[in-house]
Structure 1
């Protein structure tokens, strides 16, 4: 177990806020965002619903006094997979975004990789719970 530190709580809350905001936008307006980015609305809608659930989980985790180390490593892995998938989707030809869509995917990839790094820093700094 890892004792909840201020740094970890802020990282979880920031990830929850960003994921919740993005999830809400994607779930509510996948058609409009799809039109702007040339990304499939079904992909955006599904990602939005996932992000809303993910944000709720992160908010709950941030409220705990301690977390299992494997949970944080799962968050690191999940964020890194999301970052890789965001970059890989157009490279592998699964989507054909325009410039705005490429920027949208690139910003997501950078942001979630950044959250993965914050969780790694938290893992290094956090005292073990008793």
Structure 2
């Protein structure tokens, strides 16, 4: 939704439309990789680590951009950033936990 909705979301949040667009575009191959992992009978350890690390980096980047002054979201923009960062952090935690409890392929 970030690709076609980057303009309207940018107007509401004061987050750059190109940043939103390219973030959305970046997520397409990421989603494909995660879908392939989800369909595998045994997820390789390296793949699980890549997914968890990628999500952790997404959260860090989401928080670092406004805190460093690289973007200046309005109140709704801050809510957008914080809610999606919290959701991705939750997913990373669940993925990490699942990877610890599930036998993974080497």
Query: What TM-score bracket applies, with the shorter chain setting the length?
Result: over 0.9
For each residue in 1:2-31, what CA deviation from the matched residue of structure 2 results, as whole angstroms up to 9, or x when unmatched?
xxxxxxxxxxxxxxxxxxxxxxx1101111
Partner of 2:50: 74
Structure 2 partner of 1:103? 79
The TM-score with structure 1 as length reference comes to: 0.77
Q: Deviations over 1:59-116 (max 9, x none)?
A: 1211111111111111111111100111111110000000011011101110111111
Q: Cα RMSD (Å) of the superposition? A: 1.4
- Compute the TM-score of the two structures, normalised by the length of structure 2: 0.93
Residue 37 (structure 2) aligned to one of 61, 83, 87: 61
Unaligned regions of 5+ residues in structure 1, if any?
Answer: 1-24
Q: 1:85 — aligned with what?
A: 61
After TM superposition, give the deviation of residue 128 of structure 1 in Å: 4.4
In structure 1, the residue matched to 2:91 is: 115
Structure 2: 5+ residue stretches without partners: none
Measure, in 2, the Cα distance between the counterparts of 1:104 and 1:53: 22
After the TM superposition, list the runs of 4 or more consecutive aligned residues in structure 1 that deviate by more than 4 angstroms: none
Equivalent pairs, count: 106
Q: Measure, in 2, the Cα distance between the counterparts of 1:65 and 1:114.
A: 24
